Amino acid sequence: MAKLTREAVLAALSTVQDPDLHKDLVALGMIQDLEVGDDGAVTGRIVLTTPACPMKERIQREATEAVAAVDGVSQINFTMDAVVAKPTTPQGDRLPGVKNIIGVGAGKGGVGKSTVSVNLAVALARTGAAVGLLDADIYGPSVPMMLGVASARPAVDEDRKLIPIEAHGIRFMSMGLLVPADEAVVWRGPMIGRAVQQFVEDVAWGDLDYLIVDLPPGTGDVVLSLSQAIPMSGAVVVATPQDVAFADVTRAVRMFGMLKIDILGLVENMAWFHCPDNGKDYPIFGQSRAPDHCAAMGVELLCRLPIDLAVSPAADSGRPIAVDAPDSEQTKLYADLAGAVASRQEILNHKRAKRSELKDFFRVVPS
Ligand code: ADP
């Protein structure tokens, strides 16, 4: 029998593609610490670009199967790991330790934007990612209550930076500290833009894979200035099934487009109610046309969430549904949403990196 070589193992692994990035694992540099023993034992790490990758099991299985087919392999052990990439954003890099800043916006208030922000942050943290949450909804800062930290005040470190409050596995900071809600109504866009930029930089976030930003609703000058002040790598928009909610969210999508912030996709919240008594689903806010609306806007429909009677009481008690009911359908949908958001961001980052490589290439190759 031919001796097993490292080259043969790498050749097998280069037949396995990352389904999101459409490139093989070896070319993507995802195979690390590969060891090929004389006894045919193969070990290594597969390093994904996000721990929330929904394709994790599939990639591990396909890599193991590909290597198992190589002559001379006696055993295989691939451990799964992840290092989140840091994209470049139009606003530049003002928060060096923070890799991806994802804004959560909505056309109007009351659609569940803060609920989605909080539970998305918790669901991302559950995958092992380092996650922060910034409550930037200065008009109705409900997140401190949802996290059960309404009376907590952040401490200041030796560099005079604010230390985020730890809650449910995420690092949290509220702009309510900068702008009390009753004063927020008189704040104007440019004023808040500068103050927010300073505020965000004055927080000791540490190293974060994802910072979720709960933005104010609408497309007024405050949210516009905020979106310019915070270097966002992507945005998620939230709407309820009504056509008017989609009309409003279209404006939000256009605003992010103007600011060159890529939309990762849309979450349709309160899409239906499942009646536990008769097992029927009721479209309380009307029959959803979310797929059509999303197609018209050129935005991906990331997730549809039902009305769940446990969501509000959980939030009011300071325990988001993803924490309070870990085995519920709603929590499962949030886990799927976390995977979808992370993989959309990963694809975008990959495309951006390729584009800047191409730019560099044309810069060095004389025409
Ligand atoms: P927004 O940030 O858009 O103003 P919130 O997140 O504060 O909206 O949500 C508004 C209300 O709706 C809250 O009481 C919240 O608990 C409730 N809510 C949000 N999503 C759901 C859902 N899927 N099922 C039931 N109640 C929900």
pLDDT at 13: 98
The answer to whether residues 314 and 203 belong to one domain is: yes
**143 C-alpha to ligand 1 centroid (Å):** 11
Q: In 10 A of CB 272, how many CB atoms? A: 19
Task: Name the domain boundary from 27, 54, 82.
Answer: 82
The answer to whether residues 50 and 175 belong to one domain is: no
Tell me the CATH number at 305.
Answer: 3.40.50.300
The answer to whether residues 109 and 223 belong to one domain is: yes
pLDDT per position as a tens digit, 36-72: 999 999 999 999 999 999 999 999 999 999 999 999 9
Does a structural domain hold residue 16? yes
**32 C-alpha to ligand 1 centroid (Å):** 43
pLDDT per position as a tens digit, 126-171: 999 999 999 998 877 789 999 999 888 889 999 999 999 999 999 9
Task: Name the domain boundary from 82, 109, 133.
Answer: 82
HSE-CB of 181 using CA atoms within 13 angstroms: 10
Does a structural domain hold residue 365? no
The answer to whether residues 118 and 25 belong to one domain is: no
307 lines ligand 1 (CB under 6 A): yes
pLDDT at 362: 65
Cα four-point dihedral sign 309, 130, 87, 12: negative
Does a structural domain hold residue 125? yes
pLDDT over threshold 70, residue 185 = no
The answer to whether residues 74 and 157 belong to one domain is: no
pLDDT per position as a tens digit, 198-251: 888 899 999 999 999 999 999 888 888 888 888 899 999 999 998 888 889 999
Q: Count the domains in the chain.
A: 2
Instruction: Give the global pTM.
Output: 0.93
The answer to whether residues 175 and 244 belong to one domain is: yes
* pLDDT confidence band for 81 (50 / 70 / 90): very high
Quick check: 98 and 208 in contact, CB under 8 A? yes
Tell me the CATH number at 42.
Answer: 3.30.300.130
Task: Name the domain boundary from 33, 49, 82.
Answer: 82
The answer to whether residues 279 and 155 belong to one domain is: yes
Partner residues linked to 103 by β-bridges: 213, 235
* pLDDT confidence band for 363 (50 / 70 / 90): low
pLDDT over threshold 70, residue 181 = no
pLDDT at 162: 93
Nearest-CA neighbor of 194 among 235, 228, 153? Answer: 228
Share of the chain above pLDDT 90, in %: 73
**Distance (Å, whole) CA 355 – CA 339:** 24
In this structure, of 210-219, 253-262, 268-277, 349-358, the range with the lowest mean pLDDT score is 349-358
User: Stretch 306-316: mean pLDDT, rounded?
Assistant: 96
The answer to whether residues 211 and 335 belong to one domain is: yes
Does a structural domain hold residue 93? no
The answer to whether residues 14 and 157 belong to one domain is: no
Does a structural domain hold residue 349? no
The answer to whether residues 150 and 190 belong to one domain is: yes
The answer to whether residues 295 and 191 belong to one domain is: yes
Does a structural domain hold residue 356? no
Element (H, E) at 191: helix 189-201
Which residue's C-alpha comes closest to atom 12 of ligand 1?
112
Does a structural domain hold residue 224? yes
User: Stretch 26-38: mean pLDDT, rounded?
Assistant: 96
Give the ligand 1 atom nearest the CA of 306. 23
* pLDDT confidence band for 311 (50 / 70 / 90): very high
* pLDDT confidence band for 91 (50 / 70 / 90): low
Does a structural domain hold residue 229? yes
Looking at every residue in the chain, the average pLDDT score rounds to 91
User: Stretch 179-203: mean pLDDT, rounded?
Assistant: 77
The answer to whether residues 219 and 310 belong to one domain is: yes
Among left, alpha and beta (phi > 0; psi -120 to 50; other), residue 260 is left
Q: What is the residue range of 32's domain?
A: 6-82
Which residue's C-alpha comes closest to atom 8 of ligand 1?
112
Partner residues linked to 324 by β-bridges: none
313 lines ligand 1 (CB under 6 A): no
Q: Name the strands in the sheet holding 301-304, side by side, starting at the edge strand that comes first in the sequence.
A: 165-167, 170-174, 131-135, 208-214, 98-106, 234-239, 263-268, 301-304
CA distances from 340 to 6, 70, 128, 269, 324 (A): 34, 33, 16, 16, 22
Give the ligand 1 atom nearest the CA of 116. 6
Tokens of 1: 């029998």
CA distances from 318 to 11, 107, 322, 326 (A): 51, 26, 11, 15
pLDDT at 144: 92
pLDDT per position as a tens digit, 92-124: 677 889 999 999 999 999 999 999 999 999 999
